[in-house]
Structure 1
Amino acid sequence: MRFTYAEAMTNPDFYVPLAQAAEEAGYHGITLPDSVCYPEVSDSTYPYTPDGSREFLEDKAFPETFILAMAMAAATKTLRFIPFVLKLPIRPPVLVAKQAATVSYMSNNRLALGVGLSPWPEDFEVMDVPFPKRGKRFNEAIDIVRGLTNGGYFEYHGEIYDIPSIKINPVPTQPIPILVGGHSEAALRRAVVRGDGWMHAGGDAEELDRLLGRLNEIRKEEGKENDPFEIHVISGDAYTLDGIKRLEDKGITDVIVGFRLPYIMGQDTQPLEKKIAHLNRYADSVISKLN
């Protein structure tokens, strides 16, 4: 089992020291949040709060994901960086490929690219990207990012994108794992067919078991049940040794752990020292007992 530390919507000055502390404590990775902007007016709802409210996001700091990854990479040696998740379809995929390749190369292959859809039409609007056919756009963007970051000349002729034969440089010495987030049928199938793994957004144990079961069914349908496949989950079982064993038995490869509820109004007032104490306490009680 691998352990990923999660923190978001906190003081941007905390991210680098938290990355250093997580690496020292024995975590394998750290998540990076992604948000382009906050719309003043929106009819959209947020999918991860019980009532769909989004107001808690206002005035929360979201450093640009790839820039934050490079800042952390410069201050660490082994920690893996996992956007959780990058809103890929609102971005030009060639630019994302260039950014991801650079981060991976400069960090010695320490980027795992978590990608997902944005729930907000406003994200597409401000980036001048059509909201319709966003699933098709997402699929093609994944193919383009993978093709370009693998090195050599690459061209793509799809329904959404038409790219002549080009190459980018530098590219990493290892392929960048692409991890697809989302709980819908389309997201699960996308993770299996186009991705190297799946990222769970949270929920109760019964729902997680249903999602894992469906993932396994799709992997068998696609003839990929024996292929390497990362499964990153958020689970209450991740906080005990017995729980970790149960998750391992279900085929889970990575757990995402955090020690603060981020979906709150107002700014995060938890001091950096307390955050480091929390991540160290978990490392001492769980990670050190298993590694």
Structure 2
Amino acid sequence: MKIGVVYPQIELKGDPQALRDFARAVEDLGFNHLVMYDHVLGAVGDDRDPPLTGPYRDTDPFHDPLIAYAHIAALTTTLEFCPGVMILPQRQTVLVARQAADLDLLSGGRFSLGIGVGWNPVEYEALGISFTTRGQRLTEQIDLLRRLWSGEVVDFQGKYHRVDRAALVPAPAHSIPIICGGLSAPAYRRAAKYADGFIFTGPFEDVAVPGLHKLHQLLEENGRDIKGFRADLDVVGRPAARRGDFEGLSVPELLGTLETWEANGGTHAAVKTMGMGFSTVDEHLEHLAKVADALGLG
């Protein structure tokens, strides 16, 4: 099983040097991939009807994953990249196809595109995209991305997209893996039909493990082979005081979780230090060094 790390953007507060130091250090420690979360905007949560359901607000910092990964790719050689997840329906599909293709080319094939529908209608409205149709739009985007990455001329007419005999050149050297994420039944069904993998989050025993079993069942129903399908765990831990967030696990707890995940068919997992009370790069890395040592990485 491949073990990565979630970038702790809340504590490191948009510091570019922290991003560089963290990425190079986790590569040196032997971790496989770096997960970055995605929000273009944070919204004020007060006086909303309906209320905002997600954990992030206007004070929470985020980097754009594609730009941050492009920067880090030039500073690393083996570290792989996968947003967990990019909110694809609020973006222009053809532009993301171009950006992702270049990132994959310039990084030497180290990029996978993690995608989901998101939860923040304020962000969608600000970007001029319908929030209510985001699921249908995402499904169509997966098809269009794969066609564009072929490098062939594309003549595409969908419900939300029109590409009139045009090509994306240079195309990536291979079709970039598309990894879906989410918690809903539609997200599982979409991944089972169209995606190359799934990112699982939420309470481990109650959500992630049953979700993996459900997705394996759906893959079989769709005539797809479970082998080769990426099953990625966003290791979160116990609910924290901050609404919607989780406290990280101790090293022994983490090792037990990873062992159980692999035994159930997990192929990837990302260790999360965000929310554990660390405030500096060195504090995050000190904990990750203990994890790497316990796992025998490096």
Q: TM-score, normalised by structure 1?
A: 0.88
Q: Is the 8 A contact 1:202 1:233 kept in 2?
A: no
Distance, in Å, in 2 between the alignment partners of 1:65 and 1:206 is: 29
Change (3 A) 1:161 1:215: same
Aligned residue among 31, 39, 43 for 1:39 = 43
RMSD (Å), alpha carbons = 2.1
Partner of 2:217, secondary structure, is: helix
Distance, in Å, in 1 between the alignment partners of 2:260 and 2:133 is: 39
Match of 2:262 in 1: 248
Change (3 A) 1:58 1:122: closer
Match of 1:272 in 2: 281
Structure 1 residue 229 displacement after superposition? 0.3
Distance, in Å, in 1 between the alignment partners of 2:275 and 2:278 is: 12
Structure 1 residue 285 displacement after superposition? 1.0
1:286 and 2:290 matched: no
Structure 1 residue 242 displacement after superposition? 4.8
Partner of 2:132, secondary structure, is: coil
Distance, in Å, in 2 between the alignment partners of 1:93 and 1:240 is: 37
Q: Is the 8 A contact 2:278 2:284 kept in 1?
A: no
Q: Is the 8 A contact 1:240 1:286 kept in 2?
A: no
Matches within 5 A, 1:9-24: 9=10, 10-12=12-14, 13=16, 14-24=18-28
Give 2:153's aligned amino acid: Y
Distance, in Å, in 1 between the alignment partners of 2:196 and 2:29 is: 27
Q: Is the 8 A contact 2:109 2:173 kept in 1?
A: yes
1:4 and 2:4 matched: yes
Which range is displaced more, 111-120 or 226-235?
226-235
Partner of 2:289, secondary structure, is: helix
Structure 1 residue 207 displacement after superposition? 2.1
Distance, in Å, in 2 between the alignment partners of 1:273 and 1:77 is: 22
Distance, in Å, in 1 between the alignment partners of 2:6 and 2:35 is: 5
Distance, in Å, in 2 between the alignment partners of 1:59 and 1:15 is: 18
Spell out, residue by residue over 1:230-264, the C-alpha distance to the aligned partner (whole angstroms, 9 max, x if none): 011134598554543322221100011112317xx
Aligned residue among 270, 273, 279 for 1:259 = 273
Spell out, residue by residue over 1:74-123, the C-alpha distance to the aligned partner (whole angstroms, 9 max, x if none): 11001011111100000110011011111111101111100001211112
Distance, in Å, in 1 between the alignment partners of 2:259 and 2:148 is: 38
Match of 1:30 in 2: 34
Q: Is the 8 A contact 2:153 2:166 kept in 1?
A: yes
Matches within 5 A, 1:1-291: 1-7=1-7, 8-9=9-10, 10-12=12-14, 13=16, 14-40=18-44, 42-43=48-49, 44-47=51-54, 54=56, 57-235=57-235, 239-261=253-275, 270-288=279-297
Distance, in Å, in 2 between the alignment partners of 1:21 and 1:106 is: 21
Structure 1 residue 139 displacement after superposition? 0.5
Partner of 2:293, secondary structure, is: helix
Distance, in Å, in 2 between the alignment partners of 1:195 and 1:76 is: 27
Q: Is the 8 A contact 2:209 2:261 kept in 1?
A: no
Q: Is the 8 A contact 2:196 2:229 kept in 1?
A: yes
Change (3 A) 1:197 1:16: same
Partner of 1:223, secondary structure, is: coil
Give 1:271's aligned amino acid: T
Structure 2 gaps of 5+ residues are: 238-248
Spell out, residue by residue over 1:32-84, the C-alpha distance to the aligned partner (whole angstroms, 9 max, x if none): 1211112336444234x5xxxx4xx3322212221101111011001011111
Percent identity for Structure 1 against Structure 2: 27
Match of 1:265 in 2: none
Give 1:181's aligned amino acid: G
